[in-house]
Amino acid sequence: MKKKVVVGMSGGVDSSVAALFFKEQGYDVIGVTMQIWQDEDYCDMSENGGCCGLSAVDDARRVAETIGIPYYVMNFKEEFKKTVIDYFVAEYLRGRTPNPCIACNRYVKWEALLHRCLGIGADYIATGHYGNIKKLPNGRFAVTKSASLNKDQSYVLYNLTQEELSHTLFPISTMEKDEVRKIAERAGLPVAHKKDSQDICFIKDGDYASFIEEQTGVKSGPGDFVDSKGNVLGRHAGIIHYTVGQRKGLGIAFGEPRYVIRLDVPKNQVVLGTLDELMTKEVLFDDINYMSVSDINEPVKVTGKVRYSAKDVPCTLYPAKDGVMKAVF
């Protein structure tokens, strides 16, 4: 009996080639696009489209017709609102900078989609992500880097659970982007030369501050720029307009570069400082997802990074205390 795989189709070339791969390998393939946002004004509705707009649906449907697979649009508006939009807004209001794509991957593109697909008899879900999944000798699954390091997306897949990984396939993990486009072109796929989507799909024109104010119904009020000693340096436009590490767009000039080193939400203050004041060798984090092991009981030397585009650097992880782990770089 053929294995059934549901391919999450974003309308882009990567997921389209993923669907083509399984069709050619003899799988029972179903294409699915997740409808996650109900107001098209907030979706990336450019010619190249994002992953949630009507253009994505149109492109995915045309690809499915070309390949010869059934195609459906599944409604995940409620899940997306609860686990991505509400999280995104709440984190900014707490003075933190969220990554909504990671939340979307974990709770919508995997948890919600997988459970629905398993319910209709699917064996696997698959996407066009550039990542790899390995089953380790201890029986656990782990995400590793793709062959294309320039396109590697393992960073945004770090919080997938063991159950999700055991039912997930990444068919283009061994390919380079140029190879993916050539395969799509040879197969006559209409999205062979479609550009990659870059921005947050539900933020119009990148104006996340206006989006947050519209969602909450509350305008972010101005407050003080202060230095690390509490001295007032000037006025800011509202705390949600800033993020730790920011240097440009502060609207205030100094003799040397100043960075946002902290956001004090209770005081409505944006704390500015030098690069030395900004940088740190220690990172504390919670909401830990263990992949290759079930726990860490002693210090472990690994490589890590705190931004998608950053390079991996050596660090030491220390066992979690009260759910909080420390990394020393």
Of 190, 170, 169, 171, give the one whose Cα is nearest residue 181.
Answer: 190
Q: Which two tokens stand for residue 255?
A: 């003799």
* SS3 category, 52: coil
Two structure tokens written together for 13: 């070339």
- Residues catalogued as catalytic: 104, 201
Q: In what order do the strands lie in the sheet with 324-328?
A: 282-285, 324-328, 313-321, 300-304
- Smallest CA-to-CA distance from 106 within 89, 129, 137 is with 129
